Amino acid sequence: MSDLALSIPEARTARPRSAARVLRTVQTVCIFIIALVIVSPLLLLVVASLKDDRFQILADMGSFRAFWVSNPTLSNYAEVGHLSGQLAFGRYLINSLIILVTTVCSGLVVNSMAGFVLAWGSLRGRAVILSVVIALYVIPQESIIMPLVIMVSRAGMSDTFAVQIVPWVASPLYIFLFYQFFTQLPKELLEAAEMDGASFFRAYRSIFLPLSLPALATVSILMGIETWNQYLWPILVTQTDYARPIAVAIATFFGQDSIYWDRAMAASVLMMIPILGLYLVFQRWFVSSFIGSAVKG
């Protein structure tokens, strides 16, 4: 009798444990499937870049053979280095790096200063300006791109590095991100700095900017991705290979007569490496910024 009395509560507690174990298993399987779906295009890209037959790449598409290579080779990466005769692929890569570094560094300075002024500056009509900044963000970039092309052409900026950097340094989105971050910091920091005789700009440079590492990391990664993936704008404002970025160079593999899938895959892998490096450098602050935003939200 006593054994039966003890077994009943054990059976009752075993059922929830069993149900929880099944639920965890289902969750793990679902997460694994979602991760597999997300990673599969990247895996396919890397595997295809190691195949030396572009026709075989097309033949393998749609089957599991697309994710397997029997004789991997780096010949596609070697051929990519000899693109277009006069300018090697490395030149496009350097062009993209120049545009990326200059745009991101300039953007961090300009957008953070604008966000700081909107947050704590004694600017008249600050609320109206902030509303205009937010309104500008919702306007599609494609709707103003043609007038912008005419403007930079009249200014003599076509086919230069400057035409791919200057128009995209200031961004309503990044100004608003910095504005939001600075408004979350205590205003007493600014008042204490002013009591010590520091100017408004010095308070920004010495106190608020060092505290905004999560915002700087977030804007760096978002701005870097946006700049690195620019395709339409360089096509419209550049006519030669002098300042064209790597995204435009990949398009040269898709000709009217033939498509070089093998080289395009290798070039795409090379194109990913710098932006992945940027993410790894700022990963710590980038993740903490998103987690902080989610908790506060």
> 124 and 59, same structural domain?
no
Would you state the structure tokens that stand for residue 153, as one six-digit string?
A: 């052409």
> 283 and 137, same structural domain?
yes
Structural domains counted in the chain: 2
pLDDT reported for residue 14: 67
Distance from C-alpha of 138 to C-alpha of 33, rounded to nearest angstrom: 34
Quickly state the pLDDT bin for 295 (edges 50, 70, 90).
very low
Domain that holds residue 227: 81-295
Q: What are phi and psi of 254, to 5 degrees?
A: -105, 80
Q: What is the CATH number of the domain that holds 102?
A: 1.10.3720.10
The torsion region of residue 260 among left (phi > 0), alpha (psi -120 to 50) and beta comes to beta
- 275: buried, middle or exposed (CB in 10 Å: 19+, 13-18, 0-12)? middle
> 178 and 271, same structural domain?
yes
Residue 198's Cβ-side half-sphere holds a number of Cα atoms within 13 Å equal to: 16
Residue 83 has pLDDT above 60, yes or no: no
pLDDT reported for residue 165: 94
The mean pLDDT of 181-207, rounded to a whole number, is 89
> Which residue, 31, 54, 72, sits at the end of a domain?
72
pLDDT reported for residue 13: 65
Q: Considering the domain boundaries, does residue 106 fall inside one?
A: yes
The mean pLDDT of 130-135, rounded to a whole number, is 87
The mean pLDDT of 117-146, rounded to a whole number, is 86
Cβ pair 152, 234 in contact under 8 A:
no
Distance from C-alpha of 126 to C-alpha of 88, rounded to nearest angstrom: 49
Q: Considering the domain boundaries, does residue 140 fall inside one?
A: yes
Give the residue with greater pLDDT, 87 vs 251: 251
Start-to-end CA distance of the chain, whole Å, equals: 56
Give the residue with greater pLDDT, 261 vs 103: 103
> 109 and 64, same structural domain?
no
Q: What are phi and psi of 216, to 5 degrees?
A: -65, -40
Residue 178 has pLDDT above 90, yes or no: yes
Quickly state the pLDDT bin for 297 (edges 50, 70, 90).
very low
Query: Across the chain, what does the average pLDDT equal?
Result: 83
- The DSSP output letter for 255 is -
Quickly state the pLDDT bin for 249 (edges 50, 70, 90).
confident
Most confident of 16-25, 64-73, 224-233, 277-286: 224-233
Distance from C-alpha of 192 to C-alpha of 181, rounded to nearest angstrom: 19
Q: Considering the domain boundaries, does residue 8 fall inside one?
A: no
Distance from C-alpha of 84 to C-alpha of 207, rounded to nearest angstrom: 49
